[in-house]
Structure formats: C-alpha cells, structure tokens
Structure 1
Amino acid sequence: MTKHISESDTRANFIDPKLVDSQWEPVHIVREYYFTDGRKLLGNKRGKRLFLDYLLKYNNTNLAIIEAKKLSDHPTKGLQQVLDYAKKLKIKFVYATNGDQIYEFNRQTGRGDYVDNFPTPQDLYNRLFGKKNALKEKLHKIPFLLTGNFGPRYYQEIAVNKVMESIADGEDRILLTLATGTGKTFISFQIVHKLLTAKWNLDGNGRRPRVLFLADRNVLADQAINTFNPYEKDVIKIDGEEVRKRNGVVPTNAYIFFAIYQAIAEREDIGGFYKEYPSDFFDLIVIDECHRGSANEAGSWREILDHFKPAIHLGLTATPKRDDNVDTYKYFGKPIYEYSLKEGIQDGFLTPYKVKRVTTNIDEYIHTNDSKILQGEITKDRYEIDDFNKSITVKQRIELVAQTILKQIGKMDKTIVFCANQDHALDLRDYINKYKTVTDINYCVRITSDEGKHGRELLEAFQDNDKDIPVILTSSKMLTTGVDARNVRNIVLTAPIGSMVEFKQIIGRGTRVFDGKDFFTIIDFVGATNLFYDEDWDGEPVDPTGKGGRPKTRPPRKVNEPGEPYERKEKLIISLSNGRKLKVTDIDTRYIDENGKPLTAREFLEKLIGELPSIYKNEEHLRKIWSNPDTRGDLLKQLGDLGFDNEQLNDLRNMIATQECDIFDVLSHISFNSNLITRKQRVKFVKDEPEFFEVYKNLEARDFLEFILKHYEDYGIEELQRDKLGDLVKLKLGTPKDAKTAFGDMKTLLGAYYKLQENIYRAG
C-alpha cells in the first residue's frame, strides 16, 4: 500500500504533522524554497534553479533543511545532493526523511544518525548559537527592511547574519568579500538597519549607534546614500560644503554619516575633519571597496581607522586575497563570508561573458626615419604595447582602435572603454566621434575626474536604463569600481591593467544582470584578458596568516589610485609615414567560463543554451541542406521545433559573429569550428566567378541575379526563400511576362534562383 503514496502525500500526511508536533509553525517553514535564479541562458532564458523541499527558519535565521522522499523510499535517498545545498547556504543541520524515519546530519561534525523527532525551533537555535547570547538573538529577530516586492538573495541574508553574529561575539575587525554586482550596499543597509533598530552600541546604554560609511569616490558615496533613503532624516554627508554651512563645525546630529576619505583626511592646507570627532564617536565604520584605500600603515584610510580605533571596522571588497591587497586581509583578518564571481554566474545573479582579443600590425613600434616625431624624443629601440599612450602616442593607432570598437559593438550597446589616462580617453572619444554614425553629440563622452559636475550628470544618464544616450564612455581609473550600470554590453580594454584586483573590478562593470542581456563582451586590445588564465583569477583565497597558498612571482604594476592627479608628462608623439597601412590582423574570440577557463564556441553555447541538436552530420551535409531553399526551410522548421526559433538564431548570430554574417556560418562555426565569413564576402565570391552569369545571355537576367545578391547581402537569407521570388521579380523585372522574356521561361528562372544559392554557399 505504501508504494502508492506519493511524495506530496507523504509530506502532507506524515512529515508536516511531525513538524507541528515539534512546534514548527507555518511562519517557520518555507516549502519549495528556490534560492538561485538559474544561470543566464540565451534568448532571455534561464537554467535550472536550485530549491529545497523544506527550509526551517527561526528568528529570521536559516536553521535546517529537510529533504523529503515518499514513504516507500529509503529516508536518506536524496541526502548527498542536499548536503551540497546546505554547504552553499551555510546551514549546519540537514534532515532526510520518508515520513516514517528521520535522519539528522550535522555538517560541522560530519556525522549523522536517526532521531525520533525533529527538534523544536528554540532547541535547534540554541544548539547553533548557545543559550546565553541574548544580543545575537535580538539582532537575528529584527527582519530586513524591504521596499518593493522582492526579498533578499540567499547570500545577502548569510552575509548580514554573519556580521550580526560577529558583532555579538565581540569581533571588531570584520571583512566581507562579495563579487562586484552582488549588492554590497544593500547588505550594508540591512546591517545598519538592524543595529539602529536594536539600539545596539559599543557603550551598551540603549542609544542608537553612530555609523560612518567611508568610500573613496563621491559617486560611490552618493549611490550608497540613495540606498539608505528610508533613513534619509538620519543621514548626513561630511564634506567641506557641509562644514562651511555649519561655520566650520563638523556635523554630529545624525546616526548615519557618509564621507569620502579624501574629504575628511588631512591635506597640506587643512587639518583632517575626522580629527574633530572624538575617537569613540562612531560605533561602526563601514569601509566600501576597502582594498582600494589600502589598510597598510601608510595607506589612505589607515590614519582615519587608527583615529577611530574603538569602533568596529567592517570592510567590504570584491576581491579575494591577492599579493596586491594582502594588507587589507592582514588588517581585517579572514573574511567571515565570501561570494565569488563564479558562484554569481552559476546562480544566475551575474551575467556570463566572452572575450574578443584584437591584435593589430602596430602593437609594437620600432622607429624608422619614415615616421615623423611631432613631440619628444626616441628613448628606446622598441616600444611595446605597455608603452602606448603612456610614454609614446601613435595617433593613427588610436584612430584604428576607435574604428574597430565601432565595428565590434552594436550601434546602441552601452559600452565602457578603459584608457591609459585622461588624455588617452580624450583622444579615443574624439576619434570615435569622427567615425560614429549616430549624430547625437553625447553618443560618446569622456567620464573622468576632470569632467566635474557635467561628467557626473552624463554618467547618471548612462546608468539610467530608460535612456539611450550616452552609449559609449571613455575613462581611465574613475569607473573601475562601484559604478552601477546594469545594461553595459561591452567592456573595452585599451590599456594594460595594473593588477588582478583592478582587473576583477573592471570585469565587474559588465556582470550586472539586465533583462534581455544574456552575456556581455570584453574587447581587449592589449592582452589584459590573459589575466583570466592566471591562477589568481577566481581561485580560493590563501590563508591571511600567510601559511597557505602558493608564492607568486609576478609583482603587481603600480597604478594610480582613484582621485590621484594624472601627471601630464612630456611624451613622445609619432606620426607614421603615409605609406604605412594600419589594420587589425586578428580578432580571436575566446569563450570564457566562470572559472576563467577557455571554451570552444560549442562548449560555451552548451552552457548558455544546452546541447545543439544533431540534425546535420557534417559541414558538407549542412552546406548541402542550406544551399537549397526547400531543404533549408525544413531545417529551420526542425530547429524551431527544438527551441531554436528565428529570434534565438539571431541571438546566436549576435553573440558568435555580427549581423553581417549568415546564420549558416554561425551554425557551421559552432558545430564544426569553421571560419566565419560575411554575406558581403559570399557575394564577392559569386561575382568573382563570371562564368555563372555568362550562361544567361540576356543582360536583364544578369542584372536580376545581381539584384538578388544585393538583397541577400543587405537583408540576409529571408531574401532567398522560395516564396520571395515573386516579390523580387516584381521589384526588379516587373511582371511574370517580363521575367519570362529575360530568362526564356519560368523553369530557367527558377533554376537560376536555386543555382545562385548553391554558388553563394560554395564560398568558405
């Protein structure tokens, strides 16, 4: 009889009553808890979402998972997979049950055993956190403050709760490492909300705490202030303008203070505002992008942190421990929680990406007398790619890069171009404006610290997903961190990147999820994406004590800190001889998985869309099918039935190639790694074989065939369908009688139409 009892009946009739017996109320139980969005796939689709049968919560804390099986199954049948989920969710207790027997597994001890009943919520909470930690329970009990109809992501809940537990345990240096685009400011807001609501402070006297949110750029501080909007009456920004308004007195009448460290630190002509506050004024200091200011003893925030030593210091960073941010980890200690770029992409909270590595025939410069020195002097025999736009400027190369960027991106695709410095950003902007086809004056703009208020307004417009303009931003260091622009489709690298930390920050500008954005593209002119193959790309962080990990031999390059003035040195400017023709020599498309591992087009697409159907045996078979409008129509119908409709095939084309390519070439490239060629190249191939046209003596017939070729080149395979022939005849020849006159009879016309297509697809 038990064989016929389903899993849902087992839950309703056997598992749920046992939970009720152990005092689990409906508010504590989340059934079918989905905790990921599913990896982003092509065509705005998603991969499989992860979910649990039961999630048990108490005091807004995830305590346990129940894996349910039907009554006739072994109780631990699904245990292994759910243990992986428990590890991901940082949940200690896992229960597997068939409604009759209950198996309890403790992940911390690695042991399990059968138990008679589920523990009560309070018992389980006490087992996790101990009976005497009243502060922990008080902080946990305060729910998140949510606006709108969305809840926190699972890793955001974990991060907030880990901070609450660390504070309750008396920790005073805390670090969270979360990938760019995963909502560090939202997490900060929830932490501050809980502490304010609980009236927690270091004195323990029941007043609301005072919190300082410290950033290294105004744009980051202002974005954070917007997130804290529900507490706008309690928020103030410490800067020169605010202090002047108060006749030179720093503001103290708030609970949440925002500042950029440059505004409150000491300068040559002014004492640091931070010294105007008593050292115990703040209870908590949140340091955003804490790796940037450096926590070493001579670092940018260190003097401020040392002054406010009694406060709890909470560091937020997107970068696991590396050689170039080792001081950050030494100061804060091991992160209490990490959520990586790899996890973000797998869970569907971040966007996958591909790389186009562009090489040119001027990626190095050796001076000859043919070239003209416009400024400066030759100081070395050979200038390499690292030297361009720093110690040497070749304007024609910048012009080539600008033209190539415009060819490689969609005309209205939001794009950020990272340049060597502010002058280089100007040069690139100017050349893009020279060759762009969109007339709007703000189509391409430079956004650097020199632009001031106008630049910030343009940046806000770029970040506004309802606005099309600006489309392209050129910048140097200003946009590497924290700028939240969700619809960025292209990241362009035109200058070497100084460190793995900086590289991860830059890549993070494209990873944010946006509706209709299935992936983004990194266009690399300088080989910076070789950092993907570095062992540091997204590996496990080494032990902050220095005991773990492998020694690294590659020293990081020195890079300007944000806000550091750009020194315009007298540099070498070269004009190449008129006879030197510059060109792109190769565009190598690399498909990169979330670990930084290079994939073939097929492997990458299988991650994005699942396995391609095997309808055609080999390239020759596909070419034969595609060359005939009738069999091509059948193939397209089969692909459509399998989920690869016209829209998805076009998405594939946009990702693999460009709109100028034939769908045939995209399918052939994915399936057989064949070279991609454009429709224009196919048309040239046909025209270069005049014997095909010479068969038709009537000039009108030849003109008609060339007319079809032009339509195909401009509009694609839709112009080659069998039912299009009548429309093409009307457009070019007039009536069927005129067509008969040109070709002799309709059978010859139809034969020519089909033969033309065979010739088109012979190319390549």
Structure 2
Amino acid sequence: MALSESDTRSKLIDPRIKESEWNESHIVREYFFTDGRKLIGNKRGKQYFVDYLLTYKNTNLAIIEAKAENKDPLDGLQQSINYAEKLRIDFVYTTNGHKIYEHSLKEGNGRWIENYPTPTELFERKYGQPQTKQEAIITYPFHIEGSMKPRFYQQIAVQKTIEAIADGKDRILLTLATGTGKTYISFQIVYRLFQSKWNRDGSDRRPKVLFLADRNVLADQSMNTFNPLEKDCVRINGKEIKKRGGKVPTNANVFFAIYQSIAENKNRVIEVSEEDGEDDVKGYYQQYPSNFFDLIIIDECHRGSANDESSWREILNHFKSAVHLGLTATPKRDDNGDTYKYFGDPIYEYSLKDGINDGFLTPYKVKRIQTNIDEYRFDPNDIITGELESQIVTLEQFEKQIVIPKRTELIAKTVLENMNPMDKTIVFCVNQQHASDMKIAIDKFKTIKDNNYCVRVTSDEGDIGRNFLEMFQNNDRDIPTILTSSKMLTTGVDAKNVRNVVLTAPIKSMTEFKQIIGRGTRVYEGKDFFTIIDFVGATNLFYDDRWDGIPEEVSGGKGETSPTPRPPKEEDEDSNTGGGDNTIIVDPPIREKVTIDIRGKKLKVINIETTYVGEDGIPLKTEDYLELLIGVLGKFYNNEDGLREIWSNPKNRKDLLNKLKEMNIDESQLDDLKQIFEAQDSDIYDVLAHLSFNMDIKSRNERVIAVENSDFVEKYHNEKAKQFIEFILDRYRKDGVKELDDDKLGKLVDLSGLGTIREVAVNFGGIPQMGHEYLELQKEIYK
C-alpha cells in the first residue's frame, strides 16, 4: 500500500533531506508566505505555501514540493517554479520520496538527481565564495521582535538591497506599493548593515546613515520605525542645531531630516515661523564632510530628488561617495523619469496588485459619480466676480480659475450620502482654498454635530493640522472622521482605517494617482475593502497601460543625469512646504478667480456607476463584470429550477452567497446590479434569473401579490396564523430577502406583536410546524 503524502514526507523525504546535512534549523515545513486576498465578511482567500523551505546562513535557498509515494514527482513543478519566482528563490525540488528532480531558475532548466545538495553546496552555487566581510553582510539575521517579522516581499527587498550593497553597487532603487512597509524595510536594511559593521571604507566601524524625507510627518514616522536603534538616532532640524550653537549633530549613526531642513534653496523665498524656527533653511548639509555618510536613504524619491534642479539633487551630489538608496511607490517612468535615470532600474518591485492579491493590502471598489455641472456653459447672468476667458468651462478649470459654490455643496452632500457617517474619509481637493470650501460645505450637510467631524489638514493649518492628522490616524478615535486636503496627504500618511478616498481634483499624473489610492490600501481589522469616490474621472487612469503594466525601459543609471531636465512642476502650495511644517513658501500672485452662482439650473447627480476590481487590479467595466458573473453563476445551477431550489431555501441561499463572497462577489455588488437593470424594488433572485436565463424581472410587490392571490394564504383557517404570514410578506415587500433568513423567524414573531414564539407557534400546530411553514412560504414566493 502506497504511503500518503503526509507519510511520504515524514518517512521518505525528511530522512533524505537530513542525510544531506540539512538540520531542523534549516528546514521550514509548510511555509505560508501570503495572507490570502481579503474577502467580504472578514474572510480570506487562498494562502500560498510551499511544502518545504530550505534556509542556510539566514538566506532562503530552495523549496521542495512533496508528492505522495505513488504520484509523479513532476506533478506541481510549474506551480513550484511560479512560487520560487515570487519568492526570488533559485532552486526548486520536486519529489515523491524516491525520485528527486532539481530545477534551477538561474539556468532555466532541470535534471534528475540522486541526493539533495548540502547547505554549503547550495549556498556556494548561489553566492560563490564571498569574502568574509561580504558574507557577514549578506547573512546577518533580520531583526525579529515578538511576532513582528518581515513579510516575504520585505525579506526579498532587504536581501536584494544588502546583496547589491555588498557587491559594491552605489545607486539602488526599490519600488514597492504604498502601504507595504518601505520604512520598515529601510530599518531592516540599516539594522543589518549596522550590526555587520558595513561601511564604504571597509574599516571596523558602524555606518553613518542619512534618512531623507520631504515632510516632517514622514521623518517622524520613520524615526518611530527605527526605535530599536533609538540611542544611535538623531533628528537634524533647526531646533536641534540651535541647541548646538549652529553646529550640525555628528555623534550618532542614523540621521533623519527633511530636505528643507538641510538644503540651501536658491530659487524661492522662504519664510519661517519665528515661534518655531524648526526648519530654517541654512544649507546645513554643507557642514558635513562629503564622505561623512556611508548610506543615504531617500524616501518617496520620485518627488523630484533626482531632478538636476532639485534641492535634493544638491544634497546627493555633495554626498556622492555614499550609497544612494531610493524608495518609491511609483514604478511608471512617464512623470518620474529623472528618478529612474538617476538610480537605474529597481532591483525589486512589488506592486499594488500583488499586495492586494497576496492579502497584505486592502481591495477597493470605485464609485464614479457624474453631475450635470461637470462642465459649465457660459451664462452672463451667473457671473458674480471676474471674467470668463472661454464660453465653456471644463472640470480641469474648477477651483483653479472658476469657483461654483453650489457645485462644491452638491459634491459635499453627495459624499455624505455615499459613506457611512463614521467611516474615516480623505477628500482630495484642488488646493488649500478648495479644501477649506469643501470642509465648510460638508459642515452644512453633516448629521454628526461634533465641531471636528470634518477638518481641513493642509500646510497652512500648521500644528493644528498636524494634531488633527494624528487624531485621525488613531484608530481608537472616531473624530475627526473626514479630512479635506490637497497635496499634503498624498504620500506617507499611515492611517490604516481609511474607508473612503474621495477625488474632487483632476489627476493627470499616474505617480500622484497611485499615491492617492494608496491612502486607503492599508489593512485594518474588519475593513474588507475601501471605496474610491471619483467626481472627476480620475479613475480612468486604471485603464491606462501604465497602471501596474509593464514598466517602460530605462537606460542609464548610477548617477547619470537626464539629458533634458524637466522644469519644476506647477504644484499646489502643500507640496512645497514639508507637509504641514511652519515653512511658508511665497509664490507669485495669481489672477482673480471667477465666481459663478448658477441661477437657472438645479444642480444634481445624474449617474453613479459602481465598479469592482478583478485580480488584475483594474475595475471591471459593466459588461465585463456581467460576463464574469454569468460564468461564475453557471458553476452553481444549470437552469431556473436549480436557482429557485437554492434561493427559496434560506440555508442554501446563505451557502450560495458565502461561496460568491469567496470569489470576490459580495451582496453589495449584487445589490448594485439592481441599479444596472433598474430593478431596485426587485429581489436579487430576479436579477440573477434575468442574467442567467433572460427571465422577466418581477418586483417584490408582484411576488407578494401573487402569493396573496394564491391558495397558500387561504389554507390557514387560523386567523392569527394568516396574520403572521401576511406580516412576513409585508416585511419582505418593504425590506427584501434578508427578512427571510433562517435566523429571522424569532425576530419576525417579536415584531409582529402577535405574542411570544410559543403563542404564535400554537396557531400553526407547534414550533416545528411553524418553521416548516416559514420554508414553504419562501418556496411560494419564488414559485
């Protein structure tokens, strides 16, 4: 009798692994490396795992796919190769305990082997024979604290970076989606370099590291992440330097700064709050010798750091002997080409799509909302102030050149109508003034009385805005619930429980779009998805080839400059201040805006289209979604009788809905189908029957009337029994199929006012018979 897979592992595979000198500390059995995509109802999809992970000297070297003794050892080879590619592991073994097949991803082919290679052999096949110092760097363990340890992709990002540094590479780029823990990855990199005493000159000392951000909130969050190295960390800012008599701190190993704190900005006038003076611009970095730092980490490096004309570039040029590690969430090169020109291609990429499908980021749905004032046609009677330059005003001009207060109020009211009152929400506006107008408009229509329910968080708010942001990030607090902002919150704000991201400003940049979407992707308990509410058509960028598509090819790298430097972008003032710092940039005055009061037209929402996201990360268009749904439904029933049999039994109906949830189709999506077919007063059953078999859609009222006119109700000679059946039908007519769930019977008895469960059941001949009649009624409704 052949051994089962479990017995094959323990009796055949385990002994042969150990014969090749792999001891228990080198073997991880059933290594789960994803969490499974988040599903509705706080559930998870399939987790990926490998049967065996082989490690040696803190490096992942191989995976083994185990099969039962009587199975072909090559079964599952391709899946194992796919997993190895995802894990960035070079060697795959498949076995049934007797035969062993080895596939090398480095060479792209495989062979049958007699025995597993030893740990030393496999390590040398991967790394050769590194020098003692180099080996110490690439094999130093990760920092593990309690249950907090790096996820698989974080391990890869750290290991790839460590290996690149050990190999002498001096310009390195990591591209990982927002919310995947780039700062934590940075910490692990620094920790391992710190403990292994890597530095640029090869001496016996720990490295000097500069962590550069462009906003105080990002620098502060980063310092918190580096807490295990706290005694070796210092913040470079005006306050700190004033304490030192104008001298920069040097007695630390890890330095944190926003570039405004240490750069010498020659192109703009900078005013600093006298009260704070925290980030006065003095060109502090020039006090450090050019070879002072061994490593510079540039957070959100796409934000202009590599541009020839940027202040960050001046800093990087000064410390050009250091290794420069860029971190970015935006892999597309259309509007951040300088970054890729400077650093070269990323050594590792982990996309938003990957993060969602692996279960480390939260999925999203999209509500595209259109109004009858998405463009404005000239009417001289509407103009309050200013003068229009063209007869037609488009979305791109609103709030920048044209202000229509009633439009702002319409959007504010619609936002509130499309969110749960206490769902944390960020509204991205055109500029700081628009953020203020939107806050006032939301206050006008809100139902929550708290004065801080909706607040503006922009750079002009200074400490007040920073405090509101901290309270918003605190998941134990409900207030503030809604933030209005413009550019300040597009990057790096770690607020895990954001349920809605509202777009009221046109977005042309894929880089900015990815950053904004990332505000909602962080995982939080009970948060199954978040909603992107789009008033400006910005989500059309999902259908652009650049959205999680194949990145454009990039030539150059390693400090090469762009042949045609981009001019500085025209940005909202938020993006130039360090994100809420007391630094105010004085820009040239802008022309007077035109204010318009629509008098002869009622403003209204004319369409709300809800779309859901497939595994490719792109929202499904209506026809694609219906096609997907029809294909999925066909797995559960073959004809209308099959659907009716499922739907008319509350237990079967619940099972079907749960199975659909596991396939990323939830009840809210099914409810949205009613809008597509203009069947809001109908049952989901009728929509499914129409979709699957082209049946006519009946309303719930029609179904109730049909039951009332049948012999079903009249068969009850007991008047109270008849009253209860009629009560249930009325509840179904008003509130739908949820009133017919298998756990609702007791509640329906209470609501009917006809007595206790026992008293009402007597009219049916007892509790079991009443339950039977409850099921029979449902069969009659869907007859």
Q: For each residue in 1:57-101, what CA deviation from the matched residue of structure 2 results, as whole angstroms up to 9, or x when unmatched?
A: 011111011112223223222211101111111111111222222
Distance of 1:648 and 1:231 partners within structure 2: 42
Compute the displacement of 1:476 (Å): 0.2
Structure 2 residue aligned with 1:160? 158
Q: Which residue of 2 aligns with 1:391?
A: 401
Letter in 1 for 2:355: G
Distance change (3 Å), C-alpha of 1:173 and 1:60? same
| Contact in 1 for aligned 2:647/2:653 (Cα 8 Å) | no
- The 5 Å alignment of 1:514-525 reads 514-525=524-535
Q: Which ranges in structure 2 are unaligned for 5 or more consecutive residues?
A: 271-280, 558-566, 578-584, 693-698, 706-723, 760-772
Partner of 1:418: 428
Match of 2:67 among 66, 69, 72: 69
> C-alpha displacement at 1:593, in angstroms?
2.5
Output the CA distance in 2 between the equivalents of 1:264 and 1:398.
40
- Determine if contact 2:647/2:685 at 8 Å carries over to the other structure: no
Change beyond 3 A, Cα 1:88–1:369: same
- Aligned twin of 1:582: 603
1:364 to 366, 375, 388: 375
Partners of 1:651 and 1:18 lie apart in 2 by: 45
Kindly provide the CA deviation profile for residues 565-614 of structure 1, in whole angstroms up to 9, marking residues without a partner as x.
Answer: 5766421111111x421110001112232434342679769999994587
> 1:592, 1:604 within 8 Å by CA — same for their partners in 2?
no
Q: How far, CA to CA, are the matches of 1:491 and 1:174 in structure 2?
A: 32
Structure 2 match to 1:739: none
Which amino acid in structure 1 is aligned with residue 390 of structure 2? Answer: K
Whether 2:329 is the aligned partner of 1:294: answer no
* Contact 1:321–1:544 (Cα < 8 Å) also in 2: no
Q: C-alpha offsets along residues 689-738 of structure 1, whole Å, 9 cap, x if unaligned?
A: xxxxxxxxxxxxxxx99999997798665668887776566499xxx9xx
Partner of 1:509, secondary structure, is: helix
The question of whether the paired residues in 2 share the 8 Å contact of 1:341 and 1:594 is answered with: no
- Are 1:536 and 2:546 counterparts? yes
Match of 1:403 among 398, 413, 425: 413
Question: What is the aligned counterpart of 1:494 among 488, 498, 504?
Answer: 504
Q: Residue 435 and residue 81 in structure 1: after superposition, are their counterparts in 2 closer, same or farther (change >3 A)?
A: same
Question: SS at the partner of 2:654?
Answer: helix
Q: Does residue 106 of structure 1 match 2:116? A: no
CA distance in 1: counterparts of 2:395 and 2:356, whole angstroms: 31
**Which among 613, 618, 622 is matched to residue 592 of structure 1?**
613
Picking from 642, 646, 651, the partner of 1:637 is 651
**In structure 1, what residue type is equivalent to 2:612?**
Y
Question: What's the counterpart of residue 246 of structure 2?
Answer: 248
**Relative to 1, partners in 2 of residues 1:525 and 1:516: Cα closer, same or farther, differing over 3 Å?**
same
Q: In the alignment, does 2:302 pair up with 1:285?
A: no
Work out whether residues 31 and 49 of structure 2, in 8 Å CA contact, stay in contact via their aligned partners in 1: yes
Q: 1:338 aligned to 342, 349, 355, which one?
A: 349
By how many angstroms is 1:263 displaced? Answer: 1.3
What TM-score does the superposition give when structure 1 sets the normalisation length? 0.84
CA distance in 2, matches of 1:86, 1:239: 45
SS of the aligned residue for 2:44 comes to coil
Q: Mark the CA change 1:709 to 1:29 in structure 2 (over 3 Å): closer, same or farther.
A: closer
**How far is the alpha carbon of 1:642 from its aligned partner?**
4.4
Task: Return the letter of the residue paired with 1:160.
Answer: V
In 2, are the aligned partners of 1:683 and 1:709 still within 8 Å (CA)?
no
Match of 2:52 in 1: 54
Q: C-alpha distance in 2, partners of 1:36/1:600?
A: 28
Partner residue, 1:573: 595
SS of corresponding position for 1:274: helix
Tell whether the 8 Å contact from 1:213 to 1:287 is kept in structure 2 after alignment: yes
Q: Is the Cα–Cα contact under 8 Å of residues 208 and 253 in structure 2 kept in the other structure?
A: yes
- In the comparison of the two structures, how many residue pairs are matched? 707
User: What's the secondary structure of 1:536's corresponding residue?
Assistant: coil
Pairing partner for 1:39 from 37, 40, 56: 37
Distance 1:20 1:616, change over 3 A: closer
Q: What secondary structure does 1:282 align onto?
A: coil
In 2, the alpha carbon distance for the partners of 1:607 and 1:134 equals 56
CA separation of 1:12 and 1:648: change in aligned 2, threshold 3 A:
closer
Q: Is the 8 A contact 2:206 2:253 kept in 1?
A: yes
CA distance in 1, matches of 2:360, 2:58: 22
Q: Secondary structure at the match of 1:386?
A: helix
Please, which of 490, 495, 507 is the counterpart of residue 517 of structure 2?
A: 507
Is 1:427 matched up with 2:437?
yes
Task: Provide the rounded CA distance (Å) in 2 between the counterparts of 1:444 and 1:502.
Answer: 24
Deviates more, 1:532-541 or 1:261-270: 261-270
CA distance in 1, matches of 2:67, 2:417: 56
Q: Distance in 1 between matches of 2:626 and 2:155?
A: 32
Query: Is the deviation greater in 704-713 or in 112-121?
Result: 704-713
Q: Distance in 1 between matches of 2:14 and 2:20?
A: 10
- 1:485 — aligned with what? 495
Is the Cα–Cα contact under 8 Å of residues 324 and 499 in structure 1 kept in the other structure? yes
Contact 1:447 1:459 in 2 (8 A): yes
User: CA distance change for structure 1 residues 544 and 117 in 2, over 3 Å: closer, same or farther?
Assistant: same
Partner of 2:200: 202
Among 12, 18, 22, the residue aligned to 1:20: 18
**Structure 1's 277 and 424: CA in aligned 2 closer, same or farther, altered over 3 A?**
same
Report 1:169-184 matches (<5 A). Answer: 169-184=167-182
Question: 1:541 Cα shift?
Answer: 1.2
Counterpart Cα distance in 2 of 1:387 and 1:77: 59
- Cα–Cα, structure 1 residues 609 and 520, in superposed 2: closer, same or farther, change >3 Å? farther
CA distance in 2, matches of 1:123, 1:349: 34
In 2, Cα distance between the equivalents of 1:112 and 1:617? 45
Task: Provide the C-alpha distance between the structure 1 equivalents of 2:647 and 2:67, rounded to a whole number of angstroms.
Answer: 47
* Structure 1 contact 174–336 (Cα < 8 Å) conserved: yes
**2 CA distance for matches of 1:402 and 1:587?**
15
Q: CA 1:168 to 1:557, structure 2 compared with 1: closer, same or farther past 3 Å?
A: closer
1:713, 1:608 → 2: CA distance? 26
Counterpart of 1:742?
none
CA 235–527 in structure 1, closer or farther in 2 if over 3 Å, else same = same
Cα separation, 1, equivalents of 2:211 and 2:491: 16
Task: Indicate if the aligned counterparts of 1:43 and 1:651 stay in contact, CA closer than 8 A.
Answer: no
User: Structure 1 pair 536/671, CA: closer, same or farther in 2 (3 Å)?
Assistant: farther
Measure the CA separation in 2 of the matches of 1:104 and 1:470.
57
Deviation at 1:184? Answer: 0.4
* Matching residue's letter, 2:505: A
Please give the alpha-carbon distance, in whole angstroms, between the structure 2 residues aligned to 1:650 and 1:286. Answer: 38
Counterpart residue number, 1:562: 575
- Worse overlay, 374-383 or 413-422: 374-383
CA contact (8 A) 1:41 1:608 kept: no
Distance 2:726 2:401 in 1: 51
1:632: Cα distance to partner?
A: 10
Aligned pair partner of 1:121 in 115, 119, 127: 119
Distance 1:462 1:468 in 2: 8
Taking the aligned partners of 1:144 and 1:31, their CA distance within structure 2 comes to 20
Q: CA deviation at 1:656?
A: 5.6
SS in 2 for 1:470: coil
What is the match of residue 700 of structure 1?
none
Residue aligning to 1:552: none
Q: Give yes or no for the alignment of 1:527 onto 2:537.
A: yes
Instruction: For residue 140 of structure 1, report the CA deviation from its aligned partner.
Output: 3.0
For residues 223-262 of structure 1, the aligned pairs below 5 Å read 223-262=221-260
**2:611 partner amino acid:** R
CA-based RMSD = 3.9
Cα distance, 1:453 vs. partner?
Answer: 1.1
Residue 274 (str. 1) matches residue 285 (str. 2): yes
SS of residue in 2 equivalent to 1:342: helix
> What corresponds to 1:471 in structure 2?
481
Partner residue in 2 for 1:741: none
Q: CA deviation at 1:487?
A: 1.2
Cα distance between partner residues in 2 of 1:287 and 1:239: 17
